[in-house]
Structure 1
Amino acid sequence: MPHFPVNHPARPLYRAFAGLVGLYILIFGVWGVVQTWGEPLFDRGSDWVLGLRTNLAFSLASVVFGIVLLIGASRRSNLGHYMNLTAGVVFMVTGVAMMSVLQTDANFLNFSMSTVVVSMIFGLLLLATGLYDKVGPPEQAETERHQRSHLITRPR
């Protein structure tokens, strides 16, 4: 079973990071929708918003993801923990997938290399946030801290 710290002291800071990422993505998406409205959904034009290339499909997806991340960052339950872990993986996989088709017609989200880099950075940040954002009862957190400070070596 993976080890996720429960009630980590830096949890509010990590939630703030996830919220800022969500806010950036939401602003990027809304601005992108306004700029690309009326163009084909998967257009491969030269529309740039906040330093990233976009099209209408990518902008609409960004609006949805931004809202989801803001909802996750605003919750004080494990919902944000799971949402951030999932979003981190999605951003990392999307970044690698779109990098592999960057100069082809399969680049349906109109990514540029800067968009790939930002996607990877956001993915890593959301993964880190998800790793330290788990919530549990105080007893569980205390038991876990005690186990971490008194590691028992097991014979092999």
Structure 2
Amino acid sequence: MDLDTKRRADRRLDIVYRIGAGLTGLVLIGFGTAGLMIRLPLFDTQGEVIAGLSTNGALSFLSIAIGSLLVGAMVLGGIFASTVCVAVGAAFVASGLVNLYLMSTDFNILAFSMPNVIFSFVVGLMVMTFGMYGRFSGGLAEDNPFRQHRESRHRGRVPAPRAEGVGGSVGHGSTDERLRDAAGEPDHRVEQQAGARDAAADGGAPRVRGRHRADGAAE
């Protein structure tokens, strides 16, 4: 989304983004730190259970890294915090789906178990909800920065010009003809066609209906 990053999001939205990012980040940092303190093997597929979740060295490092990112988003707040929450939430949901398939194989390098999969789904949806709050829903307040951005983009749209064929729009004649019709000037081609039709009906030479010159002679 192409928003003005110098402008802070609405204060109420900013508080929601900060709370969602901060709480989730602190939980992940605590979980990762506990795993590092007992010095777990880096890629052990079995892992050790901490707070009901299995973990190993790789998952502990990853938890601390993602938690630090969320804490940084809490500090910065605003639109950045919202974007980080949405991205991290989607990554958690995707991780739950992938590891649900890998946890019974030799490629379970993060030592996932079923409680880990459920935790990924729940935390991912929760963090994504925090990030989407006041951003993608309808009926936003008038001072909402996301609504103002959408309205500014809508007002900036310019309707495309109507395509015209060679000599003017299709079915409407050329530009000169439309201007002449608007000015009330006679069309000589129409007069010539009418004269040809009259001549064909009389069986004689074609007559041309024209304007009278200023001296009274017919054209």
Report the TM range for the smaller structure's normalisation: 0.7 to 0.9
Match of 1:45 in 2: 46
Q: TM-score, normalization: structure 1?
A: 0.76
Q: Which moved more, 1:14-23 or 1:115-124?
A: 14-23
Match of 2:33 in 1: 30
Matches within 5 A, 1:88-103: 88-103=89-104
Matched-pair contact (CA < 8 Å) for 1:18–1:126:
yes
Matches within 5 A, 1:71-82: 71-82=72-83
Alpha-carbon deviations, 1:11-64, whole Å to 9, x = none?
A: 4244213211111100000001112x2x43101234111211000000000010
Structure 1 stretches lacking a partner, 5+ long = 148-156
Matched-pair contact (CA < 8 Å) for 1:88–1:127:
yes
Q: Percent identity?
A: 30
Bigger RCO of structures 1 and 2 (CA < 8 A, at least 6 apart): 1
Matched residues in 2 for 1:100 and 1:143: separation?
38
Match of 1:110 in 2: 111
Structure 1 pair 142/40, CA: closer, same or farther in 2 (3 Å)? closer
Matched-pair contact (CA < 8 Å) for 2:70–2:84:
yes
**What SS does the corresponding residue of 1:48 show, helix, strand or coil?**
strand
**Matching residue's letter, 1:84:** C
**What SS does the corresponding residue of 1:108 show, helix, strand or coil?**
coil
Matched-pair contact (CA < 8 Å) for 1:8–1:132:
no
Consecutive aligned runs of 4 or more in structure 1 exceeding 3 Å deviation = 8-11, 142-145
**Matching residue's letter, 1:23:** L
Structure 1 pair 112/103, CA: closer, same or farther in 2 (3 Å)? same
Aligned length: 138
Structure 2 stretches lacking a partner, 5+ long = 2-8, 136-140, 151-219
**Matching residue's letter, 2:10:** N
Matched residues in 2 for 1:68 and 1:52: separation?
21
Matched-pair contact (CA < 8 Å) for 1:46–1:53:
yes
**Matching residue's letter, 1:106:** F
Matched-pair contact (CA < 8 Å) for 1:28–1:62:
yes
Question: How many angstroms does 1:115 deviate by?
Answer: 0.6
Matched-pair contact (CA < 8 Å) for 2:83–2:131:
yes
**Matching residue's letter, 1:131:** M
Matched-pair contact (CA < 8 Å) for 2:17–2:85:
no
**What SS does the corresponding residue of 1:53 show, helix, strand or coil?**
strand
Matched residues in 2 for 1:132 and 1:7: separation?
11
Q: Which has the higher helix share?
A: 1
Matched residues in 1 for 2:91 and 2:17: separation?
18
Structure 1 pair 76/129, CA: closer, same or farther in 2 (3 Å)? same
Q: TM-score, normalization: structure 2?
A: 0.56
**What SS does the corresponding residue of 2:144 show, helix, strand or coil?**
helix
